[in-house]
Amino acid sequence: MPRFPIALALLALLAPAVHAETPATAEPSAPSVAADPVRPDKPAHKPYLTGTGVPDTVQILPAPPASHSTLEAADRAAFNATRAMKGTPRWEMAATDVAEGAAAILETFACVLGTRIDQARVPAVITLFERARLDIAAGTRGPKVHYRRLRPFVGNEAPICVQRTQALADSFSYPSGHATQGWAYALIMAALVPEKATAILARGRAYGESRVVCGVHWLSDVAAGRTNGSVIFAALVGDAAFRADLDRARAELAKVLAGERKPPDQAFCSREADALKSPGLEF
C-alpha cells in the first residue's frame, strides 16, 4: 500500500482554504501528448510498436483509487497540501515542466547534462524521442478513455500552475500522460547517457511529480504514469528498430557532449537544484 508522509498529511489539514485568483500572466496550457504534432517533419511518422508488440496498458495498470477509499483520501490530501507550494521554486519548476516533446525534454535535462543541446545537432535523438512518443500516446490513451477520471482542479477554484481551460478540464486524468512521457524519456535518456543515469532518473521522477505540484493530476495518476512509462520502455527495448535508433542516438549524443558546450542558465539550474532537494512526493 502506498505511503503518504505524515508532514504532508498534516499540512493538508492545517493549510487554509484556497480561493480563486487571477494570475498576473496566465501560463499557456500544454496540449495532450497525443495532440501535439510529431517533429521534426522528416522522420517516419509511425510508432515503433505494432501488433502483438503493443502492451495492453488497460490490463496492466491497476484501476484508479475507488471513491471514498484511503488512497483517494491520500490523493486529495496531496492536492490540497501542494497548493501551498505556489510561489516556491518547486512550483516554478512544475510550471516549466508543463512543456513536453523531444525538444522540451532536452531542455528538461539541460542542467543534469551540463549543457543545452540544439535539437538541430541531434536529429537521431529527436527522431528517437518523437517516434517513441507515438507509442507513449497510444499506451496512455487506452486507460484514460477506459477510466475517464476527472482532474483534481475540476469543481474547485484552487490555484494551478497553468491556465484553466475547458479542454484541459475535459481531458482525462488517469494515468498522467506527462508522467508517462517524462519517465519513459528519462529511461531512454539514461540508456543514452548511462554515466548520468542517477541524476537523469531523479529529474525524470520530479518531472512527473510536477503534475501534482501543478495541480493538474492526482498523486495516483503520476504513480500510474511512472508504471506506464516503464511498461512502454520495456516494450520498446524489445523492438529491433528502436534498439537500432537508440544506438545511433547514443553515438550522436556522445559526440555532442564531448564537443563545445553551451552551459544552461546557472541561476535556473541553481533554483532547480534547490527544488530537487525538497522531499519527493511518496506513493
- Residue 113, classed as helix, strand or coil, is helix
pLDDT per residue as tens digits for the range 118-164: 999 999 999 999 999 999 999 999 999 999 999 999 999 999 999 99
192 vs 246: CA distance, rounded Å: 7
DSSP per-residue string spanning 211-260: HHHHTSS-HHHHHHHHHHHHHHHHHHHT-HHHHHHHHHHHHHHHHHHHS-
Is 56 part of the annotated catalytic residue set? no
> Catalytic residue among 221, 239, 245, 271, which?
221
The answer to whether residue 34 scores a pLDDT higher than 50 is no
274: confidence class by pLDDT, cuts 50, 70, 90: confident
pLDDT per residue as tens digits for the range 88-127: 989 999 999 999 888 898 999 999 999 999 999 999 999 9
What domains does the chain contain, in order, with CATH numbers?
65-277 (1.20.144.10)
Is 211 part of the annotated catalytic residue set? yes
Q: Which among 9, 4, 30 has a CA at the least distance from the CA of 165? A: 30
> Catalytic residue among 131, 133, 151, 211, which?
211
User: What is the structure's pLDDT at 280?
Assistant: 65
The answer to whether residue 207 scores a pLDDT higher than 60 is yes
Q: What percent of the chain has pLDDT over 70?
A: 82
User: What is the structure's pLDDT at 219?
Assistant: 97
61 vs 225: CA distance, rounded Å: 9
> Catalytic residue among 178, 203, 226, 271, which?
178
Is 178 part of the annotated catalytic residue set? yes
283 vs 280: CA distance, rounded Å: 9
Rounded to 5°, the CA angle 199-35-136 comes to: 45
Buried b (16+ CB within 10 A) or exposed e, 35-63: eeebbeeebeeebbbeeeebbebeeebee
The answer to whether residue 269 scores a pLDDT higher than 90 is yes
Find all residues with CB under 8 Å of 109, minimum gap 6, and list them: 189, 200, 203
189: confidence class by pLDDT, cuts 50, 70, 90: very high
> Catalytic residue among 217, 226, 250, 271, which?
217
* Distance, CA of 104 to chain centre: 11
- Return contacts of 202-208, CB within 8 angstroms, 24+ apart: 202/276, 203/108, 203/109, 203/111, 203/112, 203/276, 205/280, 206/93, 206/97, 206/275, 206/276, 206/280, 207/97, 207/108, 207/178, 207/179, 207/182, 207/183, 208/176, 208/178, 208/179, 208/182, 208/183
| Residue entry with cell 482554504 | 17
Whole-number average pLDDT of the chain? 85
C-alpha cell at position 91: 512550483
In sign, the C-alpha dihedral spanning 274, 275, 278, 279 is negative
Find all residues with CB under 8 Å of 278, minimum gap 6, and list them: 90
